[in-house]
Amino acid sequence: MMVSQCPDRAGRRDHHRQRPRGRRSHQRHRSGEGTTGEDFGGDYLIPGLVELHTDHLENHYRPRPGVFWDPLAALHAHDAQIAGSGITTVFDAVRIGSDVDLPDMLVHAQELVHAVRSGSEAGWLRAEHFLHLRCELPSHDVVAHFDALADHPSTRLASVMDHTPGQRQFRNMVDYLRFYAPKMGKSEAEMQAYVDARLAEHNRYSATNRQALVERARSMGIALASHDDATIEHVEEAERDGVAIAEFPTTLEAAAAAHDAGLAILMGAPNVVRGKSHSGNVSATDLVTAGLLDILSSDYVPYALLQAVFLLPSRVEGLDLPRALATVTSNPARAAGLDDRGEIAVGKRADLVRVAADAPLPVVRGVWREGKRVS
């Protein structure tokens, strides 16, 4: 079966139209004067997946605390897994803004950015890679990092983040301490001192840095995303700043406000697979049910993107596979300004994925980028 999506958002039921094409058992493609065909034996042919926010490259580069891998080798491993998961366009998220754990963050960010750019220019990457700068607002040097890395065609997206304890992602301090205290290995007194220092940085830098970064991104034509919006006030701030994408809203209230403001709402595919948020926030599946989700991101597990898409129709009444697929193909492509991909249609790029869905989990059997087999 060939599956395609119309350009409307997956969550906007009144405007969505399905355009099924072809048959599931056999596809024929015309090339030049002849006709060639390949029997897919019941597999699906879908558009290449479009990933806007993945931390996966950073995980390969820093596989253990204090261990930094060769950036090109890390990119090679990351790219292979990305393509093998059916992703043909990926925005590699690179965090900028130093903190107490990584005071030389710019050095590491430059390593990753250089690897992505050189790999793309050399032509050995399977997927097409762009850069997504994750800007940590309470950091004293985040604006300087942005200035050092943003002015390049590969940088297409920037998100403004604030992970200050007690706000946005972790408004509940009990949840914050439950998540971070075991990782950090600090005593109760040390943890309190750490939290107090983060709050002081937020009060000193966040508002000023946000204004500076928004102005820079606008002037450079870089799309903006907000991050972990929790309240209507957060969404109103994002709307004033010209934000296009609301990443990981943490409450139903914020997601509804973002929807009304016309922002594309992005949530994590691992949230769908697990059935809940790892930090206790709103479920992505609940947002799909409410018609408040436009885009899925693999976040930290590349394969989760495809896995979530094939799970959703069984979990959300009335949601079919083409509409689920729109959240990982046409919707993210449009939100990122990539109008040449995201669906199987005349004039679009031949970014295609063959998927077998008869097993317990969907299996990627072939990936083509611009008509060339890459996985």
Residue 279 has a pLDDT of: 60
142 vs 217: CA distance, rounded Å: 13
| Domain CATH number, residue 93 | 3.20.20.140
Residue 66 lies in a domain: yes
Enumerate residues 6+ apart whose C-beta is below 8 A from 245.
52, 157, 159, 223, 224, 225, 226, 263, 264, 265, 266, 295, 335
11: pLDDT confidence band, cut at 50, 70 and 90?
Answer: very low
List the beta bridge partners of residue 45.
2, 354
Q: With DSSP H G I counted as helix, E B as strand and the rest as coil, what are the percentages for the chain, rounded to 5? A: 40, 20, 40
Residue 122 lies in a domain: yes
The domain tally of the chain equals 1
Residue 9 lies in a domain: no
Phi, psi dihedral angles at 365 (to 5 degrees):
-110, -10
What is the number of other CB atoms lying within 10 angstroms of the CB of residue 237? 17
Residue 123 lies in a domain: yes
Residue 8 lies in a domain: no
Residue 124 lies in a domain: yes
Cα–chain center distance at 364? 20
Residue 10 lies in a domain: no
Residue 12 lies in a domain: no
Residue 296 has a pLDDT of: 98
The pLDDT of 167-182, averaged and rounded, is 66
Q: What is the distance between the terminal CA atoms of the chain, rounded to a whole angstrom?
A: 20
Domain holding 31, by residue range, is 27-373
Quick one: tokens of 180?
Answer: 């971070």
The pLDDT of 237-262, averaged and rounded, is 96
Model confidence pLDDT, tens digit, residues 276-317 = 776 668 899 999 999 999 999 999 999 999 999 999 999 999
